[in-house]
Amino acid sequence: MKIYIAKDFFQLSKKAAEIIQDAISEKPDLVLGLATGSTPLGTYKELIRMHKEEKLDFSRVISFNLDEYYPISPENKQSYFYYMKHNFFRHININPENIHVPDGQAEDAESHCKVYEAEIRRHKGIDLQLLGIGENGHIGFNEPDDEIEVLTHLTKLSESTLRANSRFFDSKEKVPCQAITMGLGSIMKAKKILLLASGIKKAEIIAKLLTEQKATTNIPASALLLHNDVTVLLDEEAAGIYKMKIKNQFSEG
């Protein structure tokens, strides 16, 4: 696991965008896994700048989003489809046919999950997966639990996620209580993973993940400790407790 600590959110976003830019330069038909939420917004902004000012070409890139609320319509401003369209896709030259976001209106969610997983396979898997992390250690909507769902599936959101995500809705009651998400297995099959964490709220979970070095279903992100190509990009705030802990480890040892 490579750990990179950036000065602030802007530098973190710049570094993340550069990693994605390099991957597209190396493989113009990159299969790119994407996340929503607050953390990747700066990365998308920088990628849009690169597209406009440096001609970064997305025309052959194939994207797969991690998750979508269920049920939700793509016109709903809180849907992840809407988020992706307005914060990223409509500003770059990605081919709409190459965009994949789980369908929040699928009549049969379970068979849609199977089709989504098969589509990823048809494209020979995800080359580079961008991830954020929940305060409870979730990735995608893989919430802490006793068991791990391996493939794309319909899931119930945990209380802590409903609370965290209510900031985007009028109230906690308006947050859909289910979502379609790639499973931990779908994520772990990505060839390369880029995990971003920014801000003080992520400091505790990041310190736990990076110092304890234990894989547990109570921290779904800890599965990433088993992957052989993960880059963790933090800003100073998210890295705060981790830095303190490793400093103490050195002074104790």
- Judged by CB under 6 A, which stretch of 10-18, 29-37, 45-53, 90-98 contacts ligand F6R? 29-37
Asked if 143 is an active-site residue, the reply is yes
Q: What is the 3-state secondary structure (H, E, C) of the chain?
A: CEEEEECCHHHHHHHHHHHHHHHHHHCCCCEEEECCCCCCHHHHHHHHHHHHHHCCCCCCCEEEECEEEECCCCCCCCCHHHHHHHHCHHHCCCCHHHEECCCCCCCCHHHHHHHHHHHHHHCCCCCEEEECCCCCCCECCECCCCCCCCCCEEEECCHHHHHHHHHHCCCHHHCCCEEEECCHHHHHCCCEEEEEECCHHHHHHHHHHHHHCCCECCEHHHHHHHCCCEEEEEEHHHHHHHHHHHHHHHHHC
Binding to ligand F6R, residues 60-79 (CB under 6 A): 66-67
Binding to ligand F6R, residues 136-155 (CB under 6 A): 138-140
Give the span between the Cα atoms of 224 and 212, in whole angstroms. Answer: 13
Give the span between the Cα atoms of 29 and 193, in whole angstroms. Answer: 17
Q: Which residue among 68, 103, 143, 149 is the active-site one?
A: 143
- Check binding of 39 to ligand F6R (CB under 6 A): yes
- Check binding of 183 to ligand F6R (CB under 6 A): no
Which residue lies nearer to ligand F6R by CB, 140 or 240? Answer: 140
- Check binding of 35 to ligand F6R (CB under 6 A): yes
Q: Which residue among 51, 112, 138, 153 is the active-site one?
A: 138
Assigned token pair, 189: 């099959």
Which residue lies nearer to ligand F6R by CB, 58 or 141? Answer: 141
Give the span between the Cα atoms of 244 and 51, in whole angstroms. Answer: 38
Which residue lies nearer to ligand F6R by CB, 163 or 243? Answer: 163
- Check binding of 42 to ligand F6R (CB under 6 A): no
Q: Which residue among 65, 136, 142, 165 is the active-site one?
A: 136
Asked if 22 is an active-site residue, the reply is no
Using CB atoms, what's the residue nearest to ligand F6R? 132
Asked if 138 is an active-site residue, the reply is yes
Which residue lies nearer to ligand F6R by CB, 104 or 134? Answer: 134
- Check binding of 134 to ligand F6R (CB under 6 A): yes
Binding-site size for ligand F6R (CB under 6 A) equals 13
Q: Which residue among 46, 51, 65, 67 is the active-site one?
A: 67
Asked if 165 is an active-site residue, the reply is no
Instruction: Give me the residues that bind ligand F6R (CB under 6 A), please.
Output: 35-39, 66-67, 132-134, 138-140
Which of the residues are catalytic? 67, 136, 138, 143
